[in-house]
Amino acid sequence: MKKILLFFALTVMSFLIVGTQSETYAKDIMPVRSSINQTHSIGLYQIGDDVRIYKEPNEESQILYRVRWNQDEFFPNEIGAENFFVVFLPNKSLELVAVTDMTDDWIEIIYDNSTGKTGWIKMDDPYKFMTWINFYNIYGKKYGLTLLGGAPEYCKDIKATTENLAKTISTINHPSKIKLNVIRGNWALVSVMDLDKTPKTGYVRWRSDDGVRYFFPAIK
Backbone angles phi, psi at 199, to 5 degrees: -70, 140
| Under 8 Å between Cβ of 49 and 70 | yes
pLDDT tens digit sequence for 130-140: 999 999 999 99
C-alpha to C-alpha distance for 124 and 115, rounded to whole angstroms: 26
User: Three-state DSSP class for 18?
Assistant: helix
pLDDT band at 26 (very low <50, low <70, confident <90, very high): low
C-alpha to C-alpha distance for 46 and 50, rounded to whole angstroms: 12
Q: What is the CA radius of gyration of the chain?
A: 21
Share of the chain above pLDDT 70, in %: 88
| Under 8 Å between Cβ of 109 and 119 | yes
| Under 8 Å between Cβ of 88 and 28 | yes
C-alpha to C-alpha distance for 204 and 211, rounded to whole angstroms: 15
pLDDT tens digit sequence for 41-90: 999 999 999 999 999 999 999 999 999 998 789 999 999 999 999 999 99
| Under 8 Å between Cβ of 145 and 178 | yes
pTM equals: 0.84
* Domains, in order of start, for the chain: 1-124 (no CATH), 133-217 (2.30.30)
